[in-house]
Amino acid sequence: ILEPKYTPSEVFMAYDEFFAGRKQLSYEEVSLRDSATVSDLGRFYTDVYMNCFPDPDERETFDGFLGYLRYENDRPERRYHIILAKDENQNIVGGCVFNYFTRTNSGVIEFIAVRSDIQSGGIGTQIYRHVLSVLSTDARQCAGRPLDYVFCEIDSPEYSRAEIKKYLYFWDKNGYYHIDFRYVQPALSDRQNPV
């Protein structure tokens, strides 16, 4: 059996690096105390998030995001973040929802979403790097040491409805490992089904 000489993540890393430097992004964290960021979250939800999560059972409601922001801000054991990325014209091009957990000194990335017409151009990588810097700051502030772990939740390739599994390449090139266990996402509301 011949093993490939190079993995796709090694071959295409230079491709991603080339495009990642092309667009300068700015970031904002959504806060219920800032109505402009909540308005931007609404634009992100309709322009980016709904296209990236076409299955209504996999998609959090907009009210759900606001509820998490309200609830999570009062919990010292974790920090809940919604970060939006904007291009030089202040257009929302992507975003990420993620958490920092104090007890385990770890981060969990729920998803990174990039506007569908500009995917595979390095924007997801830039957002990911910004998320790691926020998680690192959380770890230093809360635990007084570097971040121990980062986990992410992605569709299992066996059950994913996505036609192109490019999300697997993204996490592979960033050094993640697959934890092999069966997981069913519980229903996100009483009007949705488990996935």
Q: Chain-wide mean pLDDT for the chain?
A: 85
107 pLDDT more than 80: yes
86 pLDDT more than 90: yes
Quote the pLDDT of residue 153.
Answer: 84
117 burial via Cβ count (<10 Å: 0-12, 13-18, 19+)? exposed
Residue 1 binned pLDDT confidence (cut-offs 50, 70, 90): very low
72 burial via Cβ count (<10 Å: 0-12, 13-18, 19+)? middle
Q: Is there a contact between 67 and 30 (Cβ–Cβ < 8 Å)?
A: no
